[in-house]
Amino acid sequence: MDATFCKRMELPENTVPEAPDNYEILIELLDDISGDIQIVRGENYDLYTLKPLSELYGTGNAQTVDPGNDRFMPLLRTIESDIVKFDASRRRLTDAEVTLALDAMSMNPEAPSGDPLVRRLQCGLRLVLSVNDYSRQEVRQAIRKIGKSVVRHTESGRGRGYLNFIRNFT
C-alpha cells in the first residue's frame, strides 16, 4: 500500500465538494512504464508517480485467491479490465497473447518486460496495490487464476474466446 497516494485521494480538510453525491476522482494513466498518473478532481489536476510494484506488496491475508471472495475482486477485476481495455484501445489481442503475458507475469509480476500488455497490467497492479493490501503471492495467484480462465475459454482456431467471454463482465 502507498500511504502517500491514499492521502492524495482523500478530500482536503475543511472542503466540501459542490455535489457530494456526485463527487468523483478520476485517475488518468499517463505512462505505463514510469507509472505517471494524473489525479483529476473537477478542475484540479495532480500529477503522481506510482511506486514500483515491488514496493507495494502488502502482507495479505494468507488466503487462497478465490474469485468468489469479495476481498479479491479489486485485484482480479483490475487485471481483467486492463486486458479488455488494452484490447479495445491499443491493439486487438488474441487469447494466446494474453496467455503469454500472464505466464510471463505469473512467476515474477514485477519483472521488466518489452511487452506492452505486460507493462499495462503491471501499471494497473501498481494502482490497485497502492490502495489495497495484497501480498506478492496473492498477486501471483490472481494472475494464474486468470491465466487458467483464458485457457478454459479459448475457442480452438478462433483465438478470442476468452476475450469475448470477459468483455461481457467488465
Within 8 A by CB and 6+ apart from 72, the residues are 65, 66, 134, 138, 142
User: Looking at residue 71, what DSSP letter applies?
Assistant: G
pTM, to two decimals: 0.87
The runs of H, that is alpha helices, within 29-135 are: 73-89, 95-107, 116-131
State the pLDDT at residue 10.
78
In total, the chain counts a number of residues equal to: 170
Average pLDDT, consecutive stretches of 10 residues, N- to C-terminus, the chain (170 residues): 88 53 79 93 90 93 82 94 94 93 96 96 96 94 94 76 84
Q: What is the pLDDT of residue 52?
A: 96
Provide φ and ψ at 55, rounded to 5°.
Answer: -90, -5
* Phi, psi angle pair for 35, to nearest 5°: 80, 20
Count each helix (H run) and each strand (E run) in the chain, helices first: 6, 3
Q: What is the pLDDT of residue 126?
A: 97
Cell for 135?
A: 501480498
